[in-house]
Amino acid sequence: MPPINVGDEAPDFDLPAVMGNIKQRVKLSDYRGKKNVVLVFYPADWTPVCTAELPAFNAELEKFAGYGAEVVGISVDSIPSHIAWQKKEIGILSLPLASDFYPHGEVATKYGILREGEPVPGISERAIFVIDKQGKVAYARVYPIDRQPDTEDVYQVLRKM
């Protein structure tokens, strides 16, 4: 399935998530009419680039909030992995980390970014989608898997919204 594009209706999802140690659910449609959403798909907990990427987004939550945006991290890892990763590696985050664990990669597949080929199948691409308050995709980009995304492109989109 090809990645979704700017202007497309964002596929809804309802995923288990954790914010710090607090388990919750994240449903994209709950933000409709209220906030823009920055979906940060990352390949896996415990990897070097992801270990830098998510804390970087967490450090800028106030700036995102200033643009009326909520940040949600999503990977195919389980909730126990998200909790352990925060405790051991990156510190407790103030953004929800959603688990696309079961059915494995279902949301990444809906967004067209589940890796199926080599070298590492079964994880998502490193990608960012900005969803506007009406549920439409305002920004969609897949990044090199070995590089941390620059958030300036995301801010440029949010400034125009």
By annotation, the residues acting in catalysis are: 50
Between CA 158 and CA 131 the distance in angstroms is: 10
Between CA 35 and CA 83 the distance in angstroms is: 26
Residue among 140, 143, 142 nearest 154 (CA): 140
Pairing outcome for strands 36-41 and 69-75: parallel
Amino acid identity for residue 40 in this structure: V
